[in-house]
Amino acid sequence: MINFKITYQMIFKSRVNLFALLLLFLMYTDLSAQDSVSLKWDISDYTIKSPIKNNDSKIFQDSTHLVHHVDSTLFHLKNEGYLFCTIDTVVQKNKERIYSLYLGPKYDHVFINTGKVGDQILNSRLWKGNSEFKKVVPRHLEKAKYQVVEYYENQGYPFTKVWTDSMYFKGNDLYSNLNIDLGDKVIFDTLIVKRDRPLGVHKQFFERYLGLKKGESFSQRNVDRAEVIIKQTPYLKLTDSIDVVFEYGRAMVEIPLEKRKASRADGLIGLAPNESDDGSVLVTGQVLLDIHNPFGTGKRFFIDWKKPDQHSQWFKGSYEHPRFFKSKMDVGYNINLQIQDSTFIKVANEVLLKRRVGVKGAVQLGVKWESSRLLRELNEQAVDTLNDTKSTLYSVGYMWQDLDDLMFPTRGFKFFLKGAAGQRNIIYNPSFDQAVYEGIPEQSLMFDLHLEIEYYFGLLKWMDAYLKVEGAQMITEKLFKNELYRLGGFNSIRGFIQGEFFVDKYAYITFEPRINMGGNSYLFAFSDIGITSQNEETDIPIGIGAGASLETKTGIFSIAYAIGKNNQIPFSTQLAKIHFGFIGVF
């Protein structure tokens, strides 16, 4: 009996609660209906071509949303050329608001008297015409005025004001005057770095590096560019936005910064079945040292040594010197050395000049000297595949990047394109019968093209993704094996031995979804799909696998398992490659 009584009370209370909720819902619905209001247009000069229908009505949830819609409509009409449109009267009838609208004539353009502004300032795309009376489309008028403001902001006048007034008619055309008030001229004065501890950067270099020199005219573009430069500098980190304080014609730029660990030492070990000796394991390795800003002037030293197989070694080194001799140019030097067992040695030296263009782009010019020498005597039959060569190539390249983090990006885009052309010379072996070189020119033009695109994006809240496309092609009369690209391995198409493929052109795409584990730790899977060519023979190498990248207090540990296939070799776990790596950041 007691149980029945409790159950009945519970049911009764549930019904009461349900009735209360229903009553509240009906009251809210009724209140919402009471607050709603409708809009009706009454256009005094309505025609069939009018952009708004006469007596057109629309319901809004309250009067605030209605007024906002009316303001947006007037703004849109003025941009479309109805420059004199106005609201004449507003009549309220219960829940209905009737707006009496005068559209006025539509003007496709306005003639602006720009006599107070030089022609070199006016963007021809917005300001059309050769005389001082420029023709402007109404919807572009605000943008056209801002273009003038922006110009003077970058010439030392950050308080420039631009407006149009004194509208008048000439026939059926509408005219107006452009007025400008430059305000006080401002110069850069002090660069104030807010920091908790020393940054390890020399002050004079830092001013040149950012392009904010004391005594120069203020430029908002330079301030914006400085913020991008810092974000693209691995050893510095912005802790907040850059602020500019103006005082008595001078601008103080306040930059909140902290030092960031950017130099790194990497070690990588690869394990793979030794194809030349059944049952044994081939151990490959890589040691990398990347030092940023060692002397407080932004320089960089880079060393990369690889052991792709038992008898071969690769070495890369580079040096970067920003703002060379206090100029706006950066200078770089690269050396690339390959020793392929006892067959050949290839050495490439390259000098680069780089300069920033725009905010996030950079252009580089370079010259590369490359030579390849055989390390042992070959018979005449080998001339068709191996030979001593040397070349000089002149290059031009362009890079654009917008990454959220330069060292560990998760969002952003990076683009690099480089083209090179020059002369390639074949060094004939005097001990051979010269007839073996028939059809092979001693000198020939050579072209080298390279494209690289990287994209970091989000898939889910807990998953990011990395997409990369890379391709290159070498073009000349006759290419030898010791001149070709080397493809395959942990940094290109995984699942293969480092540099396993000798190719004269290639392209591959990498897709790598990453499961976030906090910080810079993540689990990943990958697929690398490529197409390569050598002597018109095409191959399609594919690598798939998975791995983990784990952040620790001392660095980042990574492990990856990969298997690969191409036209000759199917997928096989017996040929799988395992890579262990550790990145120490300091």
Ramachandran angles phi, psi of 204, nearest 5° = -65, -40
Return the residue matching tokens 């000049």: 353
Backbone angles phi, psi at 211, to 5 degrees: 75, 25
Residues in the chain: 586
For residue 97, report the phi and psi dihedrals to the nearest 5 degrees: -115, 125
Quick check: 343 pLDDT over 50? yes
Residue 173 has pLDDT above 60, yes or no: yes
pLDDT over threshold 60, residue 34: no
Q: What's the average model confidence in pLDDT over 495-509?
A: 94
Q: Mean per-residue pLDDT for 66-89? A: 92
What is the tens place of the pLDDT at every residue in 557-569? 999 999 999 999 9
Architecture (CATH level 2) of domain 308-585:
Beta Barrel (2.40)
Q: E strand or H helix at 26, and its extent?
A: helix 2-35
Q: Check pLDDT > 50 for residue 571.
A: yes
Asked: is 36-106 a CATH 1.10.10 domain? The reply is no
Mean pLDDT of 529-557: 93
- In this predicted structure, what is the pLDDT of residue 413? 96
- Contact criterion met (CB below 8 Å) for 428 and 442: yes
**What pLDDT is stored for residue 131 in this prediction?**
79
DSSP string, 517-584: -STT-EEEEEEEEEEEEETTEEE--EEEEEEEEEE-SSEEEEEEEEEEE-SS----GGG-EEEEEEEE
pLDDT, position 9 = 41
Residue 53: pLDDT band with limits 50, 70, 90: confident
| Residues 6+ positions from 547 with CB-CB distance below 8 Å | 523, 524, 526, 558, 559, 560, 561, 579
Please name the residues in contact with 47: beta carbons below 8 A apart, sequence gap of 6 or more: none
DSSP string, 422-456: EEEEE---TTS-GGGGTT--SEEEEEEEEEEEEEE
The helix/strand/coil state of 271 is strand
Q: How confident is the model at residue 125 (pLDDT cuts 50, 70, 90)?
A: confident
pLDDT at 521: 95
- Out of 49-58, 384-393, 488-497, which region has the weakest mean confidence (pLDDT)? 49-58
What one-character DSSP code corresponds to residue 404? Answer: S
pLDDT single digits (tens) 282-340: 778 889 999 999 999 999 999 999 988 888 899 999 999 999 988 889 999 999 999 99
Which tens digits make up the pLDDT trace of 189-247? 989 998 888 888 998 899 889 989 889 999 999 999 999 999 989 999 999 999 999 99
Work out the angle at residue 505's Cα, subtended by the Cα atoms of residues 503 and 508, and round it to the nearest 5 degrees: 100
pLDDT digits (tens, 9 = 90+) for 353-390: 999 987 799 999 999 999 999 887 766 666 668 889 99
Q: How far apart are CA 499 and CA 502, in angstroms?
A: 7
Least confident of 93-97, 124-128, 221-225, 413-417: 124-128
How many Å apart are CA 231 and CA 244, to the nearest integer? 18
Percent of the chain whose pLDDT exceeds 90? 58
Can you tell me the mean pLDDT for 451-471? 97
Written out in words, the top-level CATH class of the domain with range 187-259 is: alpha beta
Model confidence at 50, in pLDDT bands (50, 70, 90)?
confident
Q: Tell me how many degrees the CA angle 101-105-109 measures, rounded to the nearest 5.
A: 125
How far CA 10 is from CA of 18, 20, 272, 525, in Å, comes to: 12, 15, 71, 54
Q: What is the pLDDT of residue 381?
A: 64
- What's the DSSP call for residue 128? B
Residue 585 pLDDT more than 90?
no
Give me the mean pLDDT over the 255-279 stretch: 80
C-alpha 586/C-alpha 579 separation (Å) is 23
The first and second tokens of residue 92, run together, are 């309220």
Section 249-262 average pLDDT: 93
Tell me the pLDDT band of 33, cut-offs 50, 70 and 90.
Answer: very low
- Residue 550 scores a pLDDT above 50: yes
**CA 418/CA 334 separation, integer angstroms:** 15
Rounded to whole angstroms, the Cα distance separating 105 from 77 reads 11
Q: Which pair of tokens denotes residue 238?
A: 């912005």
DSSP 3-state assignment of 304?
strand
